[in-house]
């Protein structure tokens, strides 16, 4: 055995093995060993091999202190079983032996920084070995090797401490020993992509136990073919990562929780709500007529749809990191989003008051084509004098620089039956945002009918009766 040297050069290395170590929670095991050990130690290159757990320590004094821990820790479950800890001299662990040189570490850091997306807190390490930067500097980063993975994790810990998403796809990984330290080095990772590697068994994943993953990609690994069906596969993966929400791009059904106090299941979402069929036809007819004029006619024709003293306001979302989104610029100056707009004077100004002012504002907004089929309507309040409903859907802008841009909207109308029969808008609030990719794709799948009307229909006596009958007493004479 080599002696420790006084001048600080590294002493000898020792290998510590806990047979059957794999059955214990790693954190509990290491904490138990540490608490029984008279000397504090730093485990290096912790990994599981077969059923055992193994790590390395330096210094003979540490080694002998650890030897004394053997059979002192008792199995949590069965107090009678004491855990052996075997210590023997060994060569330096891989991560130390083949440690990257400082200049290699520096280059690796630069290369990783190029692959880091700060807005998503995502690091893309696909095919890292053949990165032109690394090849150009003659640095061989094989992530399968302990030293390379350790170096990478070290850089992540130091430079990307809030990493959310890590992509290790296509790196020929056939074991995940090197990721045993991921909990210490990158504990914030919630999205992990291990697809297209050489992992042969789901057991490899247990080496990362404790990582709170929400999304995992494993497809393209030999291990995927070892399960008889998808549900067995999902169950096995979920044993390692109980909080997993998505596997291989597919949402997993919410896990059933036994604890009644912490529900995780949401009520299923349903489509439009109208309360009754009569109200449904009333509201749909109103919307059809409104948007016909709005899209195809002169919007001046809408002035009769609004009460003289009606109010209208428009908002777009406010994201502090992108306060003036260029895509929604045509709506920006009218946006009355109170999360951004704090001036009380402006808040009054931007609330458009009276039907003429409202229609003037509408005439200036971009010309649109609404996708009626996309509409979902919630009729959420009604009394004998008021009907309140919200419409969500998508529309296309049909002229100017933003032609063909697809927007999504939610518009809340409060209407009252006015004398001489019209359904009369008293409040109108419009929220416009950019459409999501799936909303954009599904738009206008069915052709839009051509317009025939240019002014708002008056409600028939029957429709007025419906409005009264659907509401709560007392009745009011119109």
Partner 1 sequence: MAMPMDFKTYVDQACKAAEEFVNIYYETMDKRRQALTRLYLDKATLIWNGNVVTGLEALANFFDTLPSSEFQVNMLDCQPVHEQATQAQTTVLVVTSGTVKFDGNRQHYFNQSFLLTAQSTPNNTVWKIASDCFRFQDWASS
Contacts with partner 1, residue ranges (CB under 8 A): 214, 243, 245-246, 251, 254-255, 257, 262-273, 307, 309-311, 313, 315-319, 336-339, 344, 347-348, 351, 353, 376, 378-381, 383, 385-386, 388, 390, 392, 408, 410, 412, 414-416, 418, 426-427, 429, 431, 433, 436, 438
Query: C-alpha distances in angstroms, 414 versus 147, 323, 417, 457?
Result: 66, 30, 10, 18
CA 333 to chain CA centroid, nearest Å: 30
Judged by beta carbon, residue 55 or residue 375, the one nearer partner 1 is 375
Judged by beta carbon, residue 98 or residue 429, the one nearer partner 1 is 429
Q: Coil, strand or helix: which one is 121?
A: coil
Q: How far is the CB of 158 from partner 1 (least distance, A)?
A: 29
Q: How far is the CB of 304 from partner 1 (least distance, A)?
A: 16
Buried b (16+ CB within 10 A) or exposed e, 79-88: eeeebebebe
Buried b (16+ CB within 10 A) or exposed e, 327-366: ebebbeebbbeeeeeeeeeeeeebebebbeebbebbeebb
Q: How far is the CB of 387 from partner 1 (least distance, A)?
A: 8
Give the residue among 415, 428, 429, 427 at the shortest CA–CA distance from 464: 415
Q: How far is the CB of 425 from partner 1 (least distance, A)?
A: 10
Q: How far is the CB of 206 from partner 1 (least distance, A)?
A: 22
CA angle at 474 for the pair 429 and 424, rounded to the nearest 5°: 30
Q: How far is the CB of 361 from partner 1 (least distance, A)?
A: 14
Q: Coil, strand or helix: which one is 427?
A: strand
Judged by beta carbon, residue 366 or residue 417, the one nearer partner 1 is 417
Judged by beta carbon, residue 327 or residue 392, the one nearer partner 1 is 392
Judged by beta carbon, residue 142 or residue 376, the one nearer partner 1 is 376
Q: Coil, strand or helix: which one is 352?
A: strand
Judged by beta carbon, residue 206 or residue 337, the one nearer partner 1 is 337
Q: Coil, strand or helix: which one is 266?
A: coil
Q: How far apart are CA 205 and CA 241, in angstroms?
A: 9
Q: How far is the CB of 426 from partner 1 (least distance, A)?
A: 4
Q: How far apart are CA 81 and CA 98, in angstroms?
A: 38
Q: How far is the CB of 260 from partner 1 (least distance, A)?
A: 10
Q: How far is the CB of 244 from partner 1 (least distance, A)?
A: 11
Q: How far is the CB of 325 from partner 1 (least distance, A)?
A: 12
Judged by beta carbon, residue 115 or residue 433, the one nearer partner 1 is 433
The per-residue DSSP string of 384-397 comes to TTEEEEEEEEEEEE
269 neighbors 275 (Cβ within 8 angstroms) = no
120 neighbors 165 (Cβ within 8 angstroms) = yes
Judged by beta carbon, residue 285 or residue 354, the one nearer partner 1 is 354
Q: How far apart are CA 14 and CA 64, in angstroms?
A: 10
- C-alpha dihedral over 139, 144, 148, 151, to 10 degrees? 140
CA 270 to chain CA centroid, nearest Å: 22
Judged by beta carbon, residue 72 or residue 246, the one nearer partner 1 is 246
Judged by beta carbon, residue 237 or residue 415, the one nearer partner 1 is 415
Q: How far apart are CA 207 and CA 246, in angstroms?
A: 20
Judged by beta carbon, residue 266 or residue 446, the one nearer partner 1 is 266
Q: Are strands 116-117 and 44-49 parallel, antiparallel or unpaired?
A: unpaired
Q: How far is the CB of 303 from partner 1 (least distance, A)?
A: 16
């Amino acid at each position: 055995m080599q002696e420790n040297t006084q001048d600080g050069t590294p002493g000898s290395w020792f290998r510590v093995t806990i047979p059957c170590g794999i059955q214990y929670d790693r954190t509990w095991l290491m904490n138990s060993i540490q608490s029984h050990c008279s000397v504090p130690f730093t485990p290096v290159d912790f990994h599981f091999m077969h059923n055992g757990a193994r790590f390395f320590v330096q210094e003979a004094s540490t080694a002998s202190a650890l030897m004394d821990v053997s059979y002192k820790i008792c199995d949590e479950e069965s107090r009678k079983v004491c855990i052996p800890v075997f210590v023997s001299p060994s060569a330096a662990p891989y991560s130390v032996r083949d440690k990257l040189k400082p200049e290699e570490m520096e280059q690796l850091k630069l290369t990783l920084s190029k692959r880091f997306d700060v807005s998503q807190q995502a690091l893309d390490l696909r095919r890292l070995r053949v990165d032109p930067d690394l090849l150009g500097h003659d640095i061989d980063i094989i992530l399968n090797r302990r030293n390379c993975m350790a170096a990478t994790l070290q850089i992540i810990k130091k430079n990307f401490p809030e990493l959310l998403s890590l992509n290790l796809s296509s790196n020929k990984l056939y074991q995940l020993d090197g990721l045993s330290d991921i909990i210490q080095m990158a504990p914030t990772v919630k999205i992990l992509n291990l697809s297209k590697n050489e992992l042969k068994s789901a057991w490899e994943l247990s080496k990362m136990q404790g990582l709170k993953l929400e999304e995992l990609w494993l497809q393209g690994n030999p291990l995927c073919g070892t399960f008889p069906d998808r549900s067995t596969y999902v169950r096995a993966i979920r044993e390692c990562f109980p909080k997993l929400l998505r596997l291989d791009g597919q949402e997993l059904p919410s896990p059933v929780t036994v604890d009644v106090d912490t529900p995780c299941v949401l009520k299923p979402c349903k489509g439009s709500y109208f309360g009754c069929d009569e109200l449904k036809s009333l509201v749909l007819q109103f919307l059809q007529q409104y948007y016909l004029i709005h899209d195809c006619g002169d919007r001046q024709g809408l002035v009769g749809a609004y009460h003289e003293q009606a109010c209208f306001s428009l908002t777009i979302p406010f994201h502090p990191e992108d306060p003036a989104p260029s895509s929604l610029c045509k709506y920006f100056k009218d946006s009355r989003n109170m999360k951004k707009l704090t001036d009380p004077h402006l808040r009054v100004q931007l609330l458009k008051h009276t039907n003429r002012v409202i229609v003037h504002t509408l005439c200036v907004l971009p010309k649109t084509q609404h996708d009626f089929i996309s509409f979902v309507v919630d009729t959420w309040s009604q009394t004998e004098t008021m009907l309140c409903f919200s419409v969500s859907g998508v529309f296309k802008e049909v002229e100017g620089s933003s032609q063909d841009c697809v927007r999504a909207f939610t518009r809340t109308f409060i209407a009252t039956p006015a004398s001489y029969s019209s359904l009369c808008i008293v409040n109108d609030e419009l929220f416009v945002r950019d459409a999501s990719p799936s909303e954009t794709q599904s738009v206008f799948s069915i052709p839009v009918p051509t317009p025939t009307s240019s002014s708002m229909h008056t409600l028939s006596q029957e429709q007025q009766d419906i409005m009264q009958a659907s509401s709560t007493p007392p009745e009011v004479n119109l």
